Amino acid sequence: MPKIVAFACEHSAYEAATAALERKTGTAVSGENPRFPIVEVEILKVPCTGRVEVIDILKALEGGAGIVVLLGCFEEACHYLTGNVRAKKRVGYVRRIIQDIGLEENRVQFFSLAPDMDARFSGIIEELSKQVVNMGPGPVTRIRDQTTKEQAQAAQAR
């Protein structure tokens, strides 16, 4: 099942995600996405998207995420002043890294949300769900599945 991992700022995007769930706009905070039931959505609450390091994003991809998204504050509205700016720079850096190794750069994205933007949150998750279904499973999942398939074929050949 394709998976989206979202790092959500506790001061903005996580509140929007919670409001989306409470208002039943069609997106669960974690688990399956009711509007796109073949996509798993995992929302990770973080103090600030600026605290999400490059390694955290790469580990989410390694862990099977088809898309990793950072959902932070708008510029000038960051609780920690410039955390969202740092997060955007890190997303850009990771996008260059994964593009250099042959992966789609849009597997890592950043969006700004205010706490009252639950409908926008739902729209973002719905659009990302479509994208991850079109792209297929995460790169590590594809490699793992291919290796398992090759091992099974080798065992049958014996």
pLDDT computed for residue 145 by the predictor: 65
2 conformational bin, left if phi > 0, alpha if psi -120 to 50, beta if neither: beta
Name residue 111's beta-bridge partners: 71
Torsion of CA 28, 31, 33, 39, to 10 degrees: 160
Query: In sequence order, what E strands does the chain have?
Result: 3-9, 30-33, 36-46, 67-72, 108-112
**Could you tell me the residue range of the domain that residue 69 belongs to?**
3-157
Weakest-pLDDT range from 23-27, 72-76, 128-132: 23-27
Name residue 72's beta-bridge partners: 112
Pairing of strands 67-72, 108-112: parallel
Q: How many domains does the chain have?
A: 1
What would the mean pLDDT of 15-26 be, rounded to a whole number?
Answer: 77
CB 47 within 8 A of CB 7: no
- Dump pLDDT digits (tens) for 22-46: 775 444 455 555 555 578 899 999 9
Check which CATH number belongs to the domain holding 114 and give it.
3.40.50
Judge whether residue 85 has pLDDT over 80: yes
The pTM of this model reads: 0.82
